[in-house]
Structures are given as C-alpha cells and as structure tokens.
Amino acid sequence: MSRLVTFKTGSLVAIAISATMFTSTLAASAAPSASAVVATRQAGFKKLGGAMKALGAQLKSGAPAKAKMVAAAQTIATTARGQGKLFPAGSGPAPGLKTEALRNIWTDRATFDAQMAKLVTEADKLVAVSNTGNAAAIGAQMKATGAVCGGCHRKFRKET
C-alpha cells in the first residue's frame, strides 16, 4: 500500500509541477513584449495611412470606384477601433524601445483616449459617407478624419 501511496503522491507532485510550469509559460506568452506591442501599433498606423492614401487616390482619380473607397474607409474604421488599446503601460518611450509615442499619452491618458474615441467616430462617419458614393462628401469627411489624426500627432507623437 505504501508503494501505491508513494506512486500517487509522486504523480500528483509531477502533475502539480507541470501545471505550474504550463500556467507560468501561458501567462508569459499572454502578455506580449513592449517591442511587440509597439510593432503592432506602428503596423496599424501604417495601415491607417495606407488606407487614407488609397482613398485620396480614388478621389483624385477623376473616376473614383465606390467599392474601393468603401473598402478603404472600412479599413480605416476597423483599424482605428483597435489602435487605442495598443498603448498599455510600459510601451512608451524607454531605452531600447523605438517609438515615436510621447510620454504624455500615459500621463494625460484621458485626453489621449478621448482623441482615439474621436478618431473612431470620424472613421465611422467616413464609412457611412463612402457608402453614398458622393465624392465631395467623402472628401470632406476624409479631411475631418485626417484632422483628428493630425491633432493626435501634434499632441502625442514625436516629430521625426
């Protein structure tokens, strides 16, 4: 009987150790590194910029394709929705971390979050207007959306 108890006890200890190691590994992998967060948000901002450029190109073309404008506007709105979440504590300016984000994102978080919410609102309006196909209205809303981007850049992004 003692041999059976020893086996069960030893097995339970091994299972407990394995579970602890798995949980620690999972927790470590659940929190991305600051550099990974920065890379993700930079990619998102590049995606936003690319979609704005594509939309502008359609408007300048003289024969804008509604489907392409709607797709670009949807990319802007979808991407904008996630960008504000990509500024967790510890992902700001730090030695060895390449970011143009200014520290005041984290010290004036309420203003930053309000600006990001405003971007989502304007981007959603851009999608709605793009669905009309009215180039003049799309251009006006694109400028309004771009003004929100510019306002955030001036206050929260280091000029390069």
**pLDDT for the residue numbered 31:** 75
Specify whether 61 is located in the same domain as 127. Answer: yes
pLDDT digits (tens, 9 = 90+) for 56-101: 999 999 999 999 999 999 999 999 999 999 999 999 998 889 999 9
Specify whether 86 is located in the same domain as 127. Answer: yes
Specify whether 75 is located in the same domain as 144. Answer: yes
159 confidence band (pLDDT: 50, 70, 90):
confident
Q: Report the pLDDT averaged over residues 131-156.
A: 97
Structure tokens at 51: 């979609």
Query: At residue 149, what are phi and psi to the nearest 5 degrees?
Result: -60, -50
Specify whether 107 is located in the same domain as 125. Answer: yes
What letters, b where the CB count within 10 A reaches 16 and e where it falls short, cover 127-159? bebbeeeebeebbebbebbbebbeebeeebbee
Neighbour-count burial of 107, counting CB atoms closer than 10 A to its CB (0-12 exposed, 13-18 middle, 19+ buried): exposed
pLDDT digits (tens, 9 = 90+) for 102-130: 999 999 999 999 999 999 999 999 999 99
How many structural domains compose the chain? Answer: 2
Dist. CA 91–CA 43, nearest whole Å? 15
Specify whether 79 is located in the same domain as 62. Answer: yes
Specify whether 18 is located in the same domain as 79. Answer: no
Dist. CA 123–CA 159, nearest whole Å? 24
**Has residue 33 got a pLDDT over 90?**
yes
Average pLDDT in the chain: 86
What separation, in Å, do the N-terminal and C-terminal C-alpha atoms of the chain show?
A: 74
Residue 90: left (phi > 0), alpha (psi -120 to 50), or beta? left
Specify whether 18 is located in the same domain as 89. Answer: no
Residue 44's CATH number: 1.20.120.10
Domain ranges, residue 121: 33-156
Specify whether 43 is located in the same domain as 4. Answer: no
